Amino acid sequence: MTPELTRIPRVRAGMGWQAAALAVAALVLLPVLALGLFALRGSPGLWAHLVSNVLPVAARQTVILLLGVGAIVATLGTVTAWLVAACDFPGRRIFGWALLLPLAVPTYIVAYAYLDLLHPVGPVQGVIRGWLGYASPREFRLPDIRSMPGCILLLGLVLYPYVYLPVRALFAMQAGNLLDAGRTLGAGPVATFLRVALPLARPAVAIGTALALMEAMNDIGAAEFLGVRTLTVSVYSTWINRSDLPGAAQIALAMLAITMALVMLERRGRRRQRYAAGAQPLRRMRLRGWRAGGAMLVCALPVALGFAAPAWYLASAAWARYRFAGLSPRIIEEAGNTALFAAAATLVALLLGLVVTGAARMRPGRLTRSMARLSTLGYAVPGTILAIGLLPVIALADRQIAAVSQALLGAGPGLLLLGSGAALVYAYVARFLAIATGGIEAGLSRVPASLDHAARTLGRSPGQVFRQVHVPISRPALAASGLLIFVDCVKELPATLLLRPLNFETLSTHLYGEAARGTYEDAAIVALIIVVIGILPVIVLARTIRR
């Protein structure tokens, strides 16, 4: 067969991969584009009203929250990463994985737990009053946790692992001889950290801080529970309480501008991040006496406050609730709803991730690389923005389906996509597709190109090579990515609140409703289930670090 004839199917196969990758990227970008178009439908005076009455307060509180959370996560994550990576002290190995545990607790669950723990008639203030000899909250009470400082502190205690992970990896991979040179020049442990290690870690700190701030931007439960009116809370209240969807879309555009600034910060830090090849391994400094005690205290506090205290409270409250009323059938139904939608979104995200990575692998080029990058932008967009952008798209599709059904069958199915939860699955997939794409790309990077060439010489098409060679080898990466997507879908609150069908509850929305009503004990079992599920990816991360 002549080369000209063999090129035709290869070109067609390549065009098919490119078209599929383009379609996936369009699915992710469509809600964001629709958000901008829908925001233009507001009345002429709407934007002026938002600028003068809503945005100043919401934007100011959002910026203050991000600045405070950024300072806490950058400091706490960097210091703990340095202690675990560069120092040797009692309990270092335990703290190495225990510092990841706050990732298992969503921010709204931490706020839910501390609202009851630190309530004026709660256990913490009761013990303190007993020690000090006071009889009632009127005589002594701690500052209210429902405040901006309380929200900043709680979010920082949960989100610092986003900085701890990349900074610890950088400390472990950077040149140990640079630190040795600093020590030989007379620099002590603190000076070595400030003058040598910290400047090298700045790109990783920027990456982790940007990711943590994106999660803080996406938060709705903790901020609302603690009385902080962020842009996300304003979007939700404008849509749900005032039935003003164009106004919510315009506030979401302001959120998107801040989010894009954080993305640029993360990209800049990643572009500047470099690792020293062939460097000497980092030699840990042995700490003794009060230095070892201080290191243990610094590592123990975030674990105790960010995970142990809320987990202990949830376990105690859940056990008390179970002994009093048993396990409600409603919780079992909500757990089934949560698992069903999370599993559906995970499956779709993995399939689309295979399409995107397959296109980049089988048809490498600028176009497929660009489509792969665009398909991951959903992770940088808060769930609230995705939900606002998706609603007009899904509503339009529902109207078209109803019109076609009415013309053909004489009856319309109603809100098919919104009512069936397809919109919620769409939001999950668009938001967490980056996890699937990144995980599968990491798996495929271990597949040498020689295997592709060998399969092609045996007569396999590009699609067959991908199905028979790439996918089987990438199964561990697929499993790990699927686990992370499933857990993130279970914990996702903003998109679930805004896009769930009527009379439909998941574990996260049940918890949100109970906390909003102040009936904390009724949601303890649900919160504990979410935390237990959230521990699964932490176990995977801890095993990866040990390896």
Q: What is the DSSP string of 147-202?
A: SHHHHHHHHHHHHTHHHHHHHHHHHHHS-HHHHHHHHHTT--HHHHIIIIIHHHHH
Query: Do 35 and 249 contact (CB within 8 A), yes or no?
Result: yes
Quick one: the chain helix, strand, coil %, rounded to 5?
A: 80, 0, 20
| Phi–psi pair at 247, nearest 5 degrees | -65, -40
Strands 87-88 and 285-286: parallel
Mean residue pLDDT of the chain comes to 78
Q: Tell me, what amino acid is at 394?
A: I
Interval 440-480: pLDDT, tens: 776 666 666 666 667 667 666 666 666 667 677 777 777 87
pLDDT over 50 at 10, yes or no? no
Is a pLDDT exceeding 90 seen at residue 380?
no
Q: Which residues contact 161 (CB under 8 A, 6 or more apart)?
A: 77, 99, 100, 102, 103
Residues 321-330 pLDDT 10s: 888 877 778 8
- Lowest mean pLDDT, pick from 18-32, 341-355, 438-452: 438-452
**Nearest in space to 283 (alpha carbons), one of 422, 156, 183:** 183
The pLDDT tens digits for 393-440 are 888 887 888 777 777 776 666 667 777 788 899 989 988 888 888 777
The reported pLDDT for the residue numbered 407 is 75
Domain 21-38+73-307+316-546 class in CATH: mainly alpha
Cβ contact 376:437 at 8 Å: yes
Determine the residue type at 210.
Answer: A
Answer whether residue 337 shows pLDDT above 80. yes
**This prediction's pTM:** 0.80
Q: What pLDDT sits at residue 69? A: 94
Q: What pLDDT, on the 0 to 100 scale, is given for residue 149?
A: 92
Q: Report d(CA 520, CA 77) in Å as an integer.
A: 30
- Chain centroid, CA 301 distance in Å: 23
Percent of the chain with pLDDT over 90: 12
- Are the CB atoms for 31 and 430 separated by under 8 Å? yes
**476, HSE (Cβ side, Cα atoms, 13 Å):** 9
Instruction: Point out the least confidently predicted range of 200-214, 267-281, 435-449.
Output: 267-281
For residue 83, pLDDT beyond 80: yes
486 pLDDT above the threshold of 80: yes
User: Are 474 and 440 within 8 A, CB to CB?
Assistant: yes
Q: Which of 287, 99, 87 lies closest to 172 in space, CA to CA?
A: 87
Among the listed ranges 2-16, 53-67, 499-513, 525-539, which one has the minimum average pLDDT value? 2-16
Burial annotation 456-494 (CB, 10 A radius, 16+ → b, else e): eeeebebeebbeebbbeebeebbebbbbbbbbbbbbbbb
Structure tokens at 37: 């178009």
SS3 letters for 224-244? HHCCCCCHHHHHHHHHHHCCC
Query: Residue ranges per domain, the chain?
Result: 21-38+73-307+316-546
Displacement of CA 75 from its chain's centroid (Å): 20
Helical packing angle, 329-362 and 366-375, nearest 10°: 170
Cβ pair 174, 276 in contact under 8 A: yes
Q: From CA 512, how far away is CA 503, in angstroms rounded?
A: 15
Mean of pLDDT values over 182-211: 72
Termini Cα distance of the chain: 49
**282: pLDDT confidence band, cut at 50, 70 and 90?**
low
- Two tokens, residue 380: 């940088």
